[in-house]
Structure 1
Amino acid sequence: MADLWEDLQSIANAAPVSFTSAAGERGTIKAKSDFNVSEDVAALRKAIEGIGTTEKTLIDILTHRSSSQKQAISRAYEETTKRIFVNDLKGDTRGDFENLLVALARTPALNDAKWLIKAMKGAGTDTNVLIEILASRTNKQIKELSAAYSEITKKTLTQNLKTEVSGDFGKAILLLAEGARDESTSVNADKAREDAKALYQAGEKRLGTDESKFIEILCKRSIPHLRQTILEYKNISGKTLQKSIEKEMSGKLEDLLVAIVKCVMSTPAYFAEKLYKSMKGAGTDEKTLTRVMVSRGELDMLDIRAEFKKLYKNSLYKEISSDVSGDYGDCLKMICGGDD
């Protein structure tokens, strides 16, 4: 599997940059062209209020409307029934299926905020969730999720993170949570070479590692610049940057920096790998499966499907079909949007 990330040039050349694609372009969940909010509300009420819930209607509507259309539905639903749509979904469905529908009904920013709150709740922190969300989101997405986070918790995301994370990992996570990555699209090859050299000298070239140099470059530079830096790094050191990070670092910081490098090279490939791991072996990691399918459904699911097929020789659709069943499986297959 590691060799997937070895062939840098082909990934960099072929990879669509999800960081720059607009919602709807490469997603499977798209806006409905002849959208009629009152029809949808009537259908949803019938599905929820009737005897027994009609799951098919819920799945169909929530996987075939854009996020803004679903917000319009939620508002109209509340005006008509004086009830909160998401609460009615919760009251009417159970378990993983309920979590999936509720996430589909919420805005992406609210989902990210809720997932982060959950990851930091109670004793211990689920750093995998922090890494996945903060390493893969754009500045705009981070600003939006931070606003949603503050609204719910009455504290800023960075304030709460400071009590949860520490050391070099903490520094890197906080930098990402500020959403201050450089956004310029032009690449200066000389500057990229300089950064590659600085990384080489901070790691492979010396005894011990200067983590702060890695954190500064990987958490602040623009995505196009970092792509170039990663290619230059291979030329200078003969190794991929990912391999060097894995050799030089350990623990959570290693996990975070590797995730950033993967997202820089190909966000869809990063998420294809996440989905594969959530389903492989005994038992399924439904939380990750739900989170990734919902958060990428409107953004780059088509690209994730293509990468999945390339990497695992099986389609994402078939993998989901053989791994999960029932309404939950049906809904995930709808988000997946088809077989490859």
Structure 2
Amino acid sequence: MSTLEKTATPRFSTSAKMSVWDDLDLLLDSPSSSSSLATTSKERGTVKDKVDFKVDEDVTALRKAIEGLGTTEKTLIDVLTQRSNAQRQLVASAYEKATGRKLVADLEGDTHGDFENLLVALVTPPALFDCNEVIRAIKGPGTTESILTEIFASRSNKQIRDMADTYLKETGRLMIHDLKSEVSGDYAKALLILAEGKRDESTSVDAAKAKEDAKILYEAGEKKWGTDEDKFIDILCHRSVPQLRQTLVEYKNISKKTLQESIESEMSGEVEKLLVAIVKCVKNVPAYFAERLFKSMRGAGTDESTLTRIIVGRSEIDLLDIKAEYKKLFGVSLHSELKSEVSGNYGEALMLLCGTED
């Protein structure tokens, strides 16, 4: 039984959870929808460019909030949550020109805890933010595989390549080399393929190839004694999203089980979690993130770093869709869940990014 099932409250709808991951009927109707890893549209974000945006006014407001006696957190929240990341970068640049100090350094000096982490995330370019999360996942004793799994299973090729370029610029080292020294076994095989950012991006679907791949997967898992993980890794980490969607349908036709169910029954550990995350993202990226958010607010304490990473990271991409999936899956709005789980300046900023109550 998953953590999500163990810790779910009565509001959680098991049937909704099962249907979103097991019902493949709608999968082939939306090969280029916002569920695709290759999404570039910003139409489904909760944060947009501010229409009457004036850099100088924002810089003046931030300076007054930071340089005055005590920090005016409300101003920091109002300015930084209501601008797009591109606009925040213009503000940060103008702020440094006007003060000789980096905005991120001033925010780190004047705020603390989860609120500080959220504001820093907001003024960080997306590729650098992802890069910092990867560094955080692999530094120190032990590796936080859940962060690596979430990032590499859900990002497009371009996002991964931009992250790798930023990583090299920031550390002077290749991201893939650092990952290689931190992860091992089948998990490493799969993660390192994803970290190359070379998934096929073709939008055409080869139905015969999908049937062939489904047969290979069935024979590598359900049909044999022991599992040939390499076959699963090769197909799931290389094929395009539309192609994999067709393969998922073909697999169920052959196996009578979903590919996710087969992976969960045939594998274990981090490689199982990574391959399941890939399958979930192929099916429905917003539902995958909705589930991650739900888990971050269940159990002993709230996982604020996951809340920050997902809500900031998806606020200009598909947070509207994530909110819709959250309501569908768990029978309660994300906004109201946040309201009961987080508080103070951090909670206020997070709820503004999340947008209005559904």
Decide: shared fold, TM above 0.5.
yes
Q: Which amino acid aligns with 1:83?
A: R
Tell me, yes or no, if structure 1 residue 199 matches structure 2 residue 217.
yes
Residues 8-17 or 31-40, more deviating: 8-17
Q: What residue number does 1:263 align with?
A: 281
Tell me, yes or no, if structure 1 residue 139 matches structure 2 residue 139.
no
**Preserved contact between residue 36 and residue 241 of structure 2 (Cα < 8 Å):** no
Q: Deviations over 1:131-183 (max 9, x none)?
A: 00000000000011111111111101111011111111101100000001000
Q: What residue number does 1:26 align with?
A: 44
1:82 pairs, out of 68, 93, 100, with: 100
**Equivalents in 2 of 1:20, 1:119: separation in Å?**
24
**Preserved contact between residue 18 and residue 300 of structure 1 (Cα < 8 Å):** no
Q: Which amino acid aligns with 1:332?
A: L
Q: Deviations over 1:64-114 (max 9, x none)?
A: 211111111111100000000000001111100000010011011001000
**Preserved contact between residue 172 and residue 215 of structure 1 (Cα < 8 Å):** yes
Q: Which amino acid aligns with 1:292?
A: I
Q: What residue number does 1:102 align with?
A: 120
Tell me, yes or no, if structure 1 residue 323 matches structure 2 residue 341.
yes
Shift of residue 8, structure 1, vs aligned partner: 2.4
**Equivalents in 1 of 2:259, 2:335: separation in Å?**
32
1:162 pairs, out of 180, 184, 201, with: 180
Q: Which amino acid aligns with 1:7?
A: D
Q: Deviations over 1:241-279 (max 9, x none)?
A: 000000111101000000000000000000000001101
**Equivalents in 1 of 2:108, 2:133: separation in Å?**
17
Instruction: After TM superposition, list the pairs within 5 Å mapping 1:1-340 onto structure 2.
Output: 1=14, 3=18, 4-10=20-26, 13=29, 16-340=34-358
Q: Which amino acid aligns with 1:338?
A: T
Structure 2: which 5+ runs fail to align? 1-13
The alignment's C-alpha RMSD in Å is 1.3
**Preserved contact between residue 24 and residue 31 of structure 1 (Cα < 8 Å):** no
Distance 1:6 1:288, change over 3 A: same
**Equivalents in 1 of 2:194, 2:299: separation in Å?**
32
Q: Which amino acid aligns with 1:137?
A: R
Q: Which amino acid aligns with 2:204?
A: S
Q: Which amino acid aligns with 1:250?
A: S
Q: Deviations over 1:201-257 (max 9, x none)?
A: 111011111111100000010011111111111111000000000011110100000
TM-score w.r.t. length of structure 2: 0.92
Structure 1: which 5+ runs fail to align? none
Q: Deviations over 1:283-328 (max 9, x none)?
A: 1011111111111111100000000000011000000001111111
